[in-house]
Structure 1
């Protein structure tokens, strides 16, 4: 039972996509494959079949492997709440909230559950493809490392280093990484990949040879830019699409400072009848918007203040007066209510008994310490269509508007709507991935949905990504390198 690790010269160099593509390529070669990322940092999480949460990229990689997502695939997940602190999720469960300095002291205790999860995955797969985090060149973080070389050395997993030529300076990225690593860490790296090349790859032959000569590492290929990556669920907020589509139905999404689970929007962005606009800080919500979606957030109270700081609360009120629709998802749903209570200080220093909401739904939310995690089958109340999704939140929402639920889950009300049906709130992430519900929802807004089958589209892109890697890098040699 073999393993191979893809590390990168930096963040967002395409590691997650490379691992997803290799997982699908190995699956098509007849292998039982599993993805693994020892430590991830992301507010875009997925709920697993075993009732925990992992990074969205690992859920996509699990799909590429033909497996159900499991907490062992990402045993340590960090979910930033502030610029200096994050929730620490271990094997799917919240165990602490730590500032960066505190986490550095916590890391050595996390190696054991990381290795435990990795061992379980190896027992049930022919090959485990591991993804690093950030870069091993961050040698100031090497002590107690569980994300890159610290894990690779202890687990004795060979490493392939990926560099992003689209950023420029890829020779320095790779050669410089070797230069700053201690010798034993550098020896764990068996080769390199050049990712996101645009143009004629032959133009980089001399640079490719120079990297091999300077490092002594084998080159595994030059991978051209894969444009269809934009059609796959993204994990990192830097991948947020600023706009998309040219349809008559105009949807505006304010980009919250702690936006979470924003892949909720991906199926809408691919609908020809929709124009999806991501509204950045300082930008007004356009007056011709038909639907405003307030997305999920890792910190509802802080992002409610962010909404007001951008003036979006005023824009939303004007949008409603013009007859527009609003949908709040998870934290966005909580913001739509009359108030948010946080007596235990879970999201506010010292606790706040009452934070005024936007006042568009007659509900109140009380923050509670237990996080609710569940995969959900529901029925949309307005159309009677089936829905699937997942809940991942703290807080309980109650109030008179709940008598008009957005959906029903097991016969019980979920979410809330205003009396005229134009203001909607729900805790269900992932709802728009369901073709039947998405079609019904768009029709209620006067748009004609396409015959898009979203899940089939994602599968076809994963197959195309595997074809892309088979063509442009030596997948057979990568498999031979695994051990």
Structure 2
């Protein structure tokens, strides 16, 4: 199990890379994250919902993702409330205190999923959540040491040296563990190192002498590692290409912003994320992303002046695209009579598409294929949404589905479109067609699937070179680094 001294210490990346390291050796390996909190999620082939990072880790393991790989997923809709997904299916919304009480029941689902994966795979690589040293969360813990103790598995502790204080993080975390938990930690990994390794060596020697535990590797800072984010937006990876100007509001409860990764990597797209209080710049295309609390995020758009900006954007001929929650916001009204996302009520939409959305209990989770007739291109993606959007009888849908139905909407003037499909830009042909619709004349093709594969391989190369695989891999598994590693050593 890989646990971290902090959030974003490198747990997800380490598990992803190690999944590929083992898969390269022909071993049946699978990822596992007992509890995840993320608004970036994926739909598995059997129709379950899991964290996006676990779907990527499954790809690294060269297997299909499954709901058992992330048995508990929390999707926050406010600072104290989250939708609880168990075994791939939405259970209900809970306040933080209520979920704390529910953990006793959740642990049973976690252990059942763990046992099923054990029966199907030779090796499991487990990712913790946050830090195991959160004193207020230790009781009934199912995400870190609570799970490790129940499953009786060894733990690697990873820390991010780039944020500073790495030795304090590692020693302090170890000190806050119980004796049995401390004994369970088999070694440390230091992540995101840049500089002269020789200058770090005295600190490594001190750490090993102080704790009696080995440093299993120092991983260099991998610049521009382009893998699906578990949750937070890495604004440092915003595209600064020359060509089409794309603007995206950073909604407080933005979800599945990985939809835009293909645009962030595009050399002909200048993508800008705009947060609270920031003035959105002129754009060719504005994208309203998904949201876990659509009515609240719609109110945020109004509070930050976006309706006037969008009207001005459209007057000057710009295009506007809504994805999932963004589609709902573009309609005439959003009704939530049951309080599915927050308090029951209704909100007036932006009235840019002729549709009305009603949120209901239950969730649509499926993979979808179809065509966009107006753009003459095939599309595919996945749906994760509550409720239904109903078009006016004389309105045009956007995506014609394989079953003959329609998804989303397209305005009469062709400037505004919306769809429930996530992953719309991942298909090279669909991405090219959408960028041409938005005004880009010459389109450079981006293949996100091939890009993910290259980055997984790059990460695995790096781990092969800089981790003590002989100490990490099971006895009898070849620990020799793969030939042709593309990772430069630290410094």
**Residues 34, 482 of structure 1: alpha-carbon distance in 2 compared, 3 angstrom cutoff:** farther
Residues 241 and 372 of structure 1: CA distance in aligned 2, closer, same or farther (over 3 Å):
farther
1:358 aligns with 2:353: no
Post-superposition CA distance 1:378-403 (Å, at most 9, x none):
21222232111000001211122774
Corresponding residue number in structure 1 for 2:188: 192
- Distance in 1 of aligned mates of 2:335 and 2:475: 54
Map 1:119-138 → 2, pairs under 5 A: 119-138=115-134
CA deviations 1:37-93 (Å, max 9, x no partner) are 000000111011111100000011011011111000000000001100111110101
Question: What does 1:42-61 correspond to in 2, within 5 Å?
Answer: 42-61=38-57
State the match for 1:333 in structure 2: 327
User: C-alpha separation between the residues in 1 aligned to 2:233 and 2:9?
Assistant: 12
Q: Deviations over 1:421-468 (max 9, x none)?
A: 110010000010001111121122332221332211110110010001
The alpha-carbon deviation at position 405 of structure 1 amounts to 1.4
Which residue in the other structure is 1:431 paired with? 424
- Provide the C-alpha distance between the structure 2 equivalents of 1:188 and 1:402, rounded to a whole number of angstroms: 64
Residue 279, structure 1, aligned to residue 271, structure 2: no
What's the offset of the Cα at 1:260? 0.1
Check 1:212–1:402 CA distance in 2 against 1; reply closer, same or farther (3 A cut). Answer: farther
Name the SS of the counterpart of 1:98 in structure 2. strand
Aligned counterpart, 2:487: none
Q: Deviations over 1:230-249 (max 9, x none)?
A: x2111222434573122210
1:431 partner SS: coil
1:208 corresponds to which residue? 204
Deviates more, 1:251-260 or 1:113-122: 113-122
| Residue 315 (1) aligns with residue 309 (2) | yes
Q: What's the secondary structure of 1:31's corresponding residue?
A: coil
In 2, distance between residues paired with 1:218 and 1:482?
21
Of 376, 381, 393, the residue aligned with 1:384 is: 376
- Which residue in 1 is equivalent to 2:219? 223
- The answer to whether the Cα contact below 8 Å between 1:161 and 1:192 also exists between their aligned partners in 2 is yes
Query: How has the CA–CA distance of structure 1 residues 17 and 153 changed in structure 2, closer, same or farther, with 3 Å as cutoff?
Result: same
> Separation in 2 of the partners of 1:72 and 1:217?
32
Partner of 1:183: 179
Contact 2:244 2:268 in 1 (8 A): yes
Consecutive unaligned residues in structure 2, runs of 5 or more: 478-491
1:102 maps onto 2:98 in alignment: yes
The one of 422, 444, 449 aligned to 2:443: 449
**Mean Cα deviation higher: 236-245 or 456-465:** 236-245
Q: 4+ runs of 1 displaced by more than 6 Å?
A: none
CA distance in 2, matches of 1:273, 1:238: 21
Alpha-carbon shift at residue 404 of structure 1 (Å): 1.4
> Partner of 1:383: helix, strand, or coil?
coil
Between the two proteins, the alignment pairs up a number of residues equal to: 475
Alpha-carbon contact 2:292-2:341 (below 8 Å) kept? no
Cα distance in 2 between the residues matched to 1:98 and 1:481: 44
Greater shift, 296-305 or 338-347, is seen at: 338-347
**For structure 1, which runs of at least 5 residues remain unmatched after alignment?**
none
RMSD: 1.5
- Cα distance in 2 for partners of 1:258, 1:72 equals 26
Aligned equivalents of 2:476 and 2:55: distance in 1? 22
Aligned residue number for residue 422 of structure 1: 415
Q: How far does the alpha carbon of each residue in 1:237-274 deviate from its partner, in whole angstroms, 9 at most, with x for none?
A: 24345731222100000000000000000001111111
1:265 aligns with 2:260: yes
> TM-score, with normalisation over the residues of structure 2?
0.94
2:85 to 89, 93, 98: 89
Structure 1 residues 300-309 or 203-212, which shifts more?
203-212
Is 1:155 equivalent to 2:147 in the alignment? Answer: no
- 1:71–1:92: 8 Å Cα contact kept in structure 2? yes
SS at match of 1:433: coil
User: Alignment partner for residue 239 of structure 1, among 214, 234, 242?
Assistant: 234
Q: Which residue of 2 aligns with 1:399?
A: 391
